[in-house]
Structure 1
């Protein structure tokens, strides 16, 4: 199993997700305050709250991510570029762009390449993640798109929008295996249904680089309670 040393390391491997479209500013502010207390790798929130997160997380190392073309990805490239420009202007450190599956199904790889080239140029050294709805495509398509993403210097492939996610560890590990075989330099972020430490640990053991979870805070807090908050007073040692 993956060897997690402590809750700080665990948090550094988690991208906290909060794409609740019904959350108000006061609730989001409270969520950001809570998240700021732990050493998370990143958060992903809606474009609406990127400026608020930039303010609330200014004194942390947590990277601020948001979504582009979410959740279906079939917007025009021009539309995605406009969204991306605004998100960067608002302070986003990472962009998660939903792949256009119509292009993939039609084998229109030139259009995919053109979109990724523009995004990579726009982001510069910012993190570019591409969300591929892996459970909606065949294994051969997973292999093909992984190669395309690696060739275009995408930083991470993210395996789900959260709307269509595998319901078992075997499907998740199958996706990891395919990506690692055909795009070994491409980092992998697994999303969908990861709501406890045991499953997160299994996925990391399976080869994922990052876990995305709506339950990221609770995963780390439960781990910390179990592993680091146990208070034991040892009995005195007697030698007689």
Structure 2
């Protein structure tokens, strides 16, 4: 839970995301320059542009995240592990892998845990985030997915690919509460539909550790405009009554 004090802190809690599969290299360079301007926690980009991000962001502390099994997650485990290893070799710091929802729906938790464990072994000391697509799940399935991720050693549960997102803050907070209850040691990232500061602040206050957003730049710039560029210097006062 956070009490946001300034735009720098807000940016440090956002994974600035661009997974547009039609984006050109020049457009990606522009995106990365925006990320550098505000110093986000990370960028999340397609595997294609990981080497470009590695070069562009080499003098920053911004982490590079990319995706495995995106967006459906039904590839076999060996393919996902190979993808993850290749991304690490190219310079990724954080891997976001979509779970196999077939395993979850069939309650094959041993297979689900095995896949996550192999992915964590593949990324080593890098961050592994498991995307569970909460909008497609019943509450008990969210709980079991989070438990499997924690048991298998994942670092984060991420709530959405962005293709299916909770529609309301109460749905998001419900997801946070379930994950915190059944996987209390794992961190939580919310993604999907977070396109303004008010919503971002609500989910961070509600218990998310990080948020992912395609609108990260706009969120932080708007916050800075409203909060930091409109400060009023208070008039001096005395603490005693005038005669």
C-alpha contact (below 8 Å) 1:2/1:202 kept by paired residues: no
Q: TM-score, normalised by structure 2?
A: 0.94
Q: Deviations over 1:76-124 (max 9, x none)?
A: 0011111111111110000000000001111111211221121111111
How many residue pairs match? The answer is 240
C-alpha contact (below 8 Å) 1:74/1:100 kept by paired residues: yes
Per-residue deviation, 1:230: 2.6
Runs of 4+, deviation exceeding 2 Å: 230-237
Q: TM-score, normalised by structure 1?
A: 0.95
- 1:16 match: secondary structure: strand
- 1:36 match: secondary structure: helix
The 1:232/1:162 distance shift into structure 2, 3 A limit, reads: same
In the alignment, is residue 39 of structure 1 matched against residue 42 of structure 2? no
C-alpha contact (below 8 Å) 2:14/2:216 kept by paired residues: yes
C-alpha contact (below 8 Å) 2:10/2:220 kept by paired residues: yes
- 1:88 match: secondary structure: helix
The 1:234/1:204 distance shift into structure 2, 3 A limit, reads: closer
Q: Deviations over 1:131-166 (max 9, x none)?
A: 011111110111111111111121100000000001
Worse-matched range after superposition: 107-116 or 181-190: 107-116
The whole-number CA distance in structure 2 between the counterparts of 1:234 and 1:130 is 48
In the alignment, is residue 170 of structure 1 matched against residue 170 of structure 2? yes
C-alpha contact (below 8 Å) 1:66/1:95 kept by paired residues: yes
| Equivalent in the alignment of 2:9 | 9
| Equivalent in the alignment of 1:124 | 124
| Equivalent in the alignment of 2:197 | 197
List alignment gaps of at least 5 residues for structure 2. none
| Equivalent in the alignment of 2:230 | 230
